[in-house]
Amino acid sequence: MASFLSGLFGKLRGSDTSAEAPRRSDKAEVYKGYEIHPLPQSASGQWRLAGIIVKAGDGDEAQEAEFIRADMFPSQEEAETFCLRKGRQIIDERGGNLFSETGENSRL
């Protein structure tokens, strides 16, 4: 009972632990000076499109922007492929303004 209640309250707070944690992919890609890291999320037997765009900064500082979309795919591999495509699209559309609009580390 306690586990059920903590799970319910976790969902309300946005910290649902029932979903699989995103697995790091080895399919990262460098595109126009940005790194795109696909991080599809398992949900209801499918995979949700999600990833991170990273821009190396001066020294050790790097800027990151996370993106999550509603698109679902039957396999992790397919979700990773579309994640890279979506990452390239975001970079093409926002270019140099990618981080100036959203702050240093943010969600797109």
pLDDT for the residue 5: 46
Place of tokens 């398992």: 42
Instruction: Tell me what pLDDT residue 38 has.
Output: 97
Q: What's phi and psi for 30, nearest 5 deg? A: -100, 130
Taking 50 as the pLDDT cut, the residues of the chain under it are: 1-5, 8, 11, 15-22
Euclidean distance between CA atoms 67 and 53, whole angstroms: 8
* Structural domains of the chain, ranges and CATH numbers in brackets: 20-107 (3.30.160.350)
